Amino acid sequence: MQYSLKEILLAWFTLSRPAFHTVGILPFILGTFLAYKFNAAISLPVFFLGVSAVILIMLSAYHAGEYFDYREDEISQRFYKSNFAGGSGVMQAGRLPRSVPFWTSILSLLASGIIGLLLQFHFQTGPYTFLLGCLGAFPGFFYSTRPIRLVERGLGEIFIGFCYGWLPVASAYYIQTAGIIPVIHWMAVPIGLTIFNVIFLNEYPDYEADKATGKRNLLNRAGKERGVFIYVTLSMLACLTMLLAPWWGIPGRVIFFYLPFLIMSLFIAFMMLRGKYENRKMLEILCGLNIAVNLGTSLAFILAYI
């Protein structure tokens, strides 16, 4: 079947899932903003190169997932199509060759590495710049890539919490200042917990497909009912750390900005405890709100310092 140029470009756009890049970009913006706030100056070339590397690392991870999760995504697309799980569906629909995401994943990984070297050795952003990039690039690439495949070892969600929580905030601050302030470690806790929960909740729509293909992620290991306990516990911990943020020197108005997302968190937790994850339409809503909570957590920190 022949596709027009417009259809091919749309397929590439869909494959890259740009909306899901926000969960990495916003914490990076937070780290950059903190560097400006505490140091009164930032380098825009360093920022744009840094955020480009973050996008390329996420592309590498997402495209590797499209290639190596093909079978389970095919089942998921057929029986439980979701906007938040089951891949983009581009490969399964035959809109692009199946090999495409494999090679684009590798090329994106290499390109991010080149940027990391450029930042460290040309822009002199600090001796740990390339190492920080590797801490994000390799877990992202091997999240789905065989034979390591972190997603099947019950560890993938933990690495995601680190790579989308502490790492982008700390890395963004570091490449501007060659240092990391202690308050970033506290901020990383709720951001990391909420992105962990984003990945974890998104495993619910894929549960049957993952189980059928032997994909032993954390939810399949725990089961849906015990998964609710994991989700709610981490959600409450994230809320608690946000409410305690002023004790770490973060402006108290962060709680005011976080309040709408606190309400969302409590609503999602309540719906999960009531077993609403079995309702497809409700689960789709909860997954969407869950991403909003993660983005809102980073946004609340940014607004608190403006």
Identify the three-state secondary structure at position 63: helix
Q: What is the mean pLDDT of residues 113-121?
A: 98
Tell me, what's the pLDDT at 72? 83
Q: What is the mean pLDDT of residues 33-58?
A: 95
Q: What is the mean pLDDT of residues 83-101?
A: 83
The answer to whether residues 36 and 46 touch, using CB atoms and an 8 Å cutoff, is: no
pLDDT tens by residue, 145-193: 989 999 888 889 999 999 999 999 999 999 999 999 999 999 999 999 9
Q: What is the mean pLDDT of residues 100-111?
A: 96
Tell me, what's the pLDDT at 273? 98
Q: What is the mean pLDDT of the chain?
A: 93
Tell me, what's the pLDDT at 135? 97
| Tokens found for residue 164 | 């989308």
Q: Is the pLDDT of residue 132 over 70?
A: yes
Tell me, what's the pLDDT at 7? 80
Tell me, what's the pLDDT at 1? 57
pLDDT tens by residue, 265-276: 999 999 999 999
The answer to whether residues 298 and 26 touch, using CB atoms and an 8 Å cutoff, is: yes
Q: What is the mean pLDDT of residues 44-52?
A: 98
- pTM of structure: 0.94
Tell me, what's the pLDDT at 255? 97
pLDDT tens by residue, 220-278: 999 999 999 999 999 999 999 999 999 999 999 999 999 999 999 999 999 999 999 99
The answer to whether residues 150 and 156 touch, using CB atoms and an 8 Å cutoff, is: yes
The answer to whether residues 205 and 81 touch, using CB atoms and an 8 Å cutoff, is: no
How much is the CA Rg of the chain, to the nearest whole Å?
Answer: 19
Task: Break the chain into its structural domains and give their ranges.
Answer: 16-305
The answer to whether residues 119 and 175 touch, using CB atoms and an 8 Å cutoff, is: yes
